[in-house]
A = this chain, B = another copy of it.
């Protein structure tokens, strides 16, 4: 049986890709054991690919007041609100790995209010969901609520910017009909050996 398509658009073969993009894919494959479909499907447009991952790295790999797990929580909660299959499954896996917690991703994707996270993290996700769904209504008191939990203004930029970036990413995934790799569904659910 054929594998299901990983997206609506043609997927370039590794050999026809520009060197920098192929190098990035091989590096991911080396580390994760497979190439996530977001790399393969976005490579259809090399310039957009480069900008997308430059933006991603600037937000997700930087230093700052948010842990890597918290950054992924923002992705999973807002992608859940946008019902983006690819991002829920792929970033849910990454969240499980970073948080070393097999339950938290499914919790946050459905309802962060019931998740096994701190009150500070719940405030962070409430803000993120407002940015995702009703950003016009942001007012100063929304910022104050986060400051009361110890978030700096730079942290708040991070929360809002990660949400904004995945507003883009969710729509691209739905446009392309990006399929999550099978590997993501199980990743981080079993105790490390």
Residues of A within 8 A of B (CB): 4, 8-9, 44-45, 47-48, 50-52, 54-55, 57-59, 62, 80, 82-85, 88-89, 102-103, 106-107, 109-111, 113-114, 116, 131-132, 135-139, 143, 153, 157, 160-161, 163-165, 167-172, 174-175, 177, 179, 182, 185-186, 189-190
Contacts and interface: CB of A to CB of B under 8 A. Distances in A.
Nearest to A177: B114
A114 B50 CA distance: 27
A175 B83 contact: no
- Copies of this chain in the oligomer: 6
State the majority secondary structure of interface residues on A.
helix
Given A85-B106, A88-B106, 6 more contacts: A51-B58, A84-B136, A113-B136, A163-B171, A165-B168, A167-B167
Q: Which 8 pairs, one residue from A and one from B, show the smallest C-beta to C-beta distance?
A: A51-B55, A164-B171, A135-B174, A160-B175, A47-B58, A168-B168, A51-B54, A85-B110
A47 B66 CA distance: 18
A60 to B, nearest CB: 11
A102 B51 CA distance: 33
A157 B9 contact: yes
A188 B181 CA distance: 18
